[in-house]
Structure 1
Amino acid sequence: MNMDTDPGVMLSQCFIAVDDHDKALAFYRDVLGLEVRNDVGFEGMRWVTVGSPLQPDVEIVLEPPGANPDASEADRQAMAELLAKGMLRGVIFSTPDCDALFARVEASGAEVLQEPMDQPYGVRDCAFRDPAGNLLRFKQRSAA
């Protein structure tokens, strides 16, 4: 493969497990300001797609834990338990103003994991848990 050639690969969707879509929507839509792009129910499960108006081609799918149709009931239970413990990974968002975003998210009652701080790798960031317990980080590039 020629590394000088653009492979044409871009992120389209990522997935975050949530146990309550209404609470997740109140957080991702109402607190973070993401827009709802799709809300689909199928076989007793629900998938809600959200995204930033600044990134129309990138979507976050809020899905039930263990949504894989091949997952056993034991696998679904294990995923639900890991989600409840906050052991599943979330995403990292970028923001032009980490401190202002921190104030807004903290005021919503979200669990604070880290107040804004300058990191040695060139970002200022903070961290919260979403209503399902997922780790979410918010970074602002340093001016330097």
Structure 2
Amino acid sequence: MTEQKTPPPPQIWPTLRAADARALIRFLVTAFGFEETVTYGDGDRVDHCQLSWPPGGGLMLGSVRDETDDAWALQPGTFGAYVVTDEPDKLAERARAAGAVIVKEPFDTDYGSRDFAARDPEGNLWAFGTYRGEPR
């Protein structure tokens, strides 16, 4: 096995459900800078949406569904993620201006990262920072 010198590209796709998925998509694009890659669904219902994160990776989301018909029954507002960004202070201001609730102002960690945390309108917790993980 070859030793890796840089962190691998992201290949995990977190998923979440939303009470108002279309509003959450607009918020995540405006406040945090995700890019809407594809959205399927009719009217207010979102069956599947892929939001891409510009540096790599992304997330998938959809409208909350009747739990009896849903093997992926996630409750809105129960999601949390750490997202890598090169400009956490600038992103925190963008998020605040778009209505995100900043729950932890930008700060420096003891492991060299610059982070902040925010909640979206559905109550999901988002942490953003410069920590890219350690090479394997």
Is TM (by shorter chain) over 0.5? yes
Whether the 8 Å contact between 1:15 and 1:62 is mirrored in structure 2 is: yes
CA apart distance, 1:9: 9.8
2:34 is matched by which residue type in structure 1? L
2:37 is matched by which residue type in structure 1? R
Instruction: Give every structure 1 segment of 4 or more consecutive aligned residues whose post-TM-superposition deviation is greater than 6 Å.
Output: none
* 1:5-61 deviations in Å (ceiling 9; x for gaps): 79x99615221222212221221112222221111128x652211102332xx2311
Q: Percent identity?
A: 27
CA apart distance, 1:102: 0.7
Match of 2:112 in 1: 122
- Name the SS of the counterpart of 1:24 in structure 2: helix
CA distance in 2, matches of 1:24, 1:50: 11
Alignment of 1:10-49 (within 5 A): 11-41=11-41, 46-49=47-50
Match of 2:51 in 1: 50
- Number of matched pairs: 124
Across the aligned residues of Structure 1 and Structure 2, the Cα RMSD in angstroms comes to 2.9
CA distance in 2, matches of 1:40, 1:100: 31
Match of 1:64 in 2: 63
* 1:54-107 deviations in Å (ceiling 9; x for gaps): 32xx23111234677444xxx95xx54xx3xx4x23211111111111111011
Aligned counterpart for 1:94 among listed residues 81, 84, 92: 84
1:107 to 1:9, Cα distance in 2 relative to 1, 3 A: closer
CA distance in 1, matches of 2:21, 2:37: 14
TM-score normalised according to structure 1 size: 0.70
Whether the 8 Å contact between 1:16 and 1:90 is mirrored in structure 2 is: no
Larger Rg: 1
- Name the SS of the counterpart of 2:22 in structure 1: helix
CA apart distance, 1:117: 0.8
> With CA pairs under 8 Å and 6+ residues apart, which has the higher RCO, 1 or 2?
2
Point out the structure with the larger helix share.
1
TM-score normalised according to structure 2 size: 0.74
